Amino acid sequence: MTQQTPASSYDAIVIGAGAGGLFTAARLQHQGYRTLVLERLDKVGGRASTTDVDGFKVNDGAIVIECGTFTERTFRELDLPWEIREPSPPILYRIKGKDVDVTGGGWGFLLQKLTRQGAKLVGGIGAARKDDAALPEDQMTLQEWVAKYTKNEGVHGIFRNMAASVFSVGSEELPAKVFLTYFTRKSAFKRFGFHPEGTIGVWRALAGAIERDGGEVRLSTEVERILVEDGRIAGVVLAGGETVTAPVVVSNVGPAATVALAGPQAFDADYLEQVKRNDRPTSMITYNFASQERLIDAPGMLSFATSRRLAYIANFTDTCPEMAPEGWHLYTGTGVPKPAVGDFDEEAEYALLLEDLRETIPGFDERARILSRVTTRDGWPPQRAVSGFDMSHDTPVAGLWNVGDAVKEYANGGTTACAETAEIVAGKITAAFAPAGA
């Protein structure tokens, strides 16, 4: 006989319907854990969601979804349609005024377009690929590592803008070891695409899978407190006073916010010090713009060897015309400020980004319509921790885990990293707790 669970009691509660939270909840619910997702906003996706602006599907943060990695694997396991459309080529590089396709040519082809010292850099990357001992020490930044080989501004620009695109931080603030590990051992940003609904389409599909399998997603619902009793999770208290019980809570709001919800008294001094030390959110600045003519030749992303702040322009409507009203093209131009970690002069940084857009797209002011300007930083950052400075998923409280981009595996980033954390944490939960109806 199956044990009946009270309506206000669940096997697992997930706080936050961002990428990490939804991936985790979908996995748990699919494996028979009665799961409740609580989201304070009125839509899913969190910092990787999409907002309608005059009929344009404007992404709030994350714009591309990697293919062939943890995200796609989760969709296959959950029997969900994979609707990501891949541009071909995925990315072009603006080098000396020309847009260069390096598909198939790799690092050698790209760097040798920029400098005769390219072979030395390729050798350094090759050594890192073959031997862990060739990886730089943890404290060396990517900027410092590149400077060992060349002073060429274009080469430095390529590496800074790659760091910005993948890790949401400049090369002067990213450990070189993280970058080289990612591009020699991990997915390396080789395949990616866009969803025709905007990035929110991915999160709607996951939320739909949770509900399809018997779980619940509550929007516009804020968690006021995480309940901890005798060092174990007991549930949560919602704004308004409702208590929901569960032996497992998964937090997708970052370790610092998790500590605030549970109260610092629930954690030991070492853990609290780790949270304080690793709370290093990054920042990005973005112009979303549209036009009635095609403004760049790249069908996906255009990155830059030289720019003031512009890391890339993404062209959504070549592959996903549904993201804009008929007859319109939709783009985003994004960069990371200096510094990307800590305070910066927002107006000055946007002025530099706009200069880049005007230089890249002749007649930008007349030809483009700016839809919005979006700054992601502080409590609403593109990454809650610089890659390489992530915390563990585990906490000292039994039944409490963190997922998302503050607890990434080493040398990963973005929504792919969130999907990976969800897979790991869901595995830990299924190993430690059985669902009530089992």
pLDDT class of 1 with cuts at 50, 70, 90? very low
CA-nearest of 328, 348, 330, 325 to 338 is: 348
- Distance (Å, rounded) from C-alpha 385 to C-alpha 390? 6
* Confidence check: pLDDT of 2 > 70: no
Span 175-187, average pLDDT: 86
Mapped onto helix, strand or coil, the DSSP state of residue 102 is coil
Percent with pLDDT over 70 in the chain: 94
Are 70 and 423 in contact by the 8 Å Cβ rule? The answer is yes
* Confidence check: pLDDT of 161 > 80: yes
Are 90 and 103 in contact by the 8 Å Cβ rule? The answer is yes
Are 283 and 382 in contact by the 8 Å Cβ rule? The answer is yes
* Confidence check: pLDDT of 133 > 90: no
State the DSSP code for 206. Answer: H
Report pTM. 0.95
* Confidence check: pLDDT of 4 > 50: no
* Confidence check: pLDDT of 200 > 90: yes
**Angle (nearest 5°) at CA 41 between 244 and 28:** 50
Tokens of 405: 């981009």
CA-nearest of 302, 283, 297, 303 to 158 is: 303
Average pLDDT, rounded, for the chain: 93
- Distance (Å, rounded) from C-alpha 310 to C-alpha 303? 8
Q: How far is CA 263 from CA 38, 118, 300, 401, in A?
A: 19, 52, 45, 15
Are 58 and 288 in contact by the 8 Å Cβ rule? The answer is yes
Alpha carbons within 13 angstroms on the beta-carbon side of residue 120 total: 13
* Confidence check: pLDDT of 117 > 70: no
> pLDDT per residue over 357-403, tens digit each?
999 999 999 999 999 999 999 999 999 999 999 999 999 999 999 99
Domains and CATH numbers, the chain: 12-84+198-279+384-432 (3.50.50.60), 105-185 (3.90.660.50), 281-376 (3.90.660.50)
Q: Which residues pair with 197 in a beta bridge?
A: none
* Confidence check: pLDDT of 3 > 50: no
pLDDT class of 252 with cuts at 50, 70, 90? very high
Give residue for tokens 């992404």: 59
Percent with pLDDT over 90 in the chain: 82
> pLDDT per residue over 25-57, tens digit each?
999 999 999 999 999 999 999 999 999 999 999
Q: How far is CA 348 from CA 8, 149, 318, 351, in A?
A: 50, 31, 32, 5
Give residue for tokens 């906003």: 41
Span 338-345, average pLDDT: 97
Mapped onto helix, strand or coil, the DSSP state of residue 167 is helix
The reported pLDDT for the residue numbered 134 is: 76
* Confidence check: pLDDT of 187 > 90: no
Instruction: Quickly count: other Cβ atoms within 10 Å of residue 260's Cβ.
Output: 14
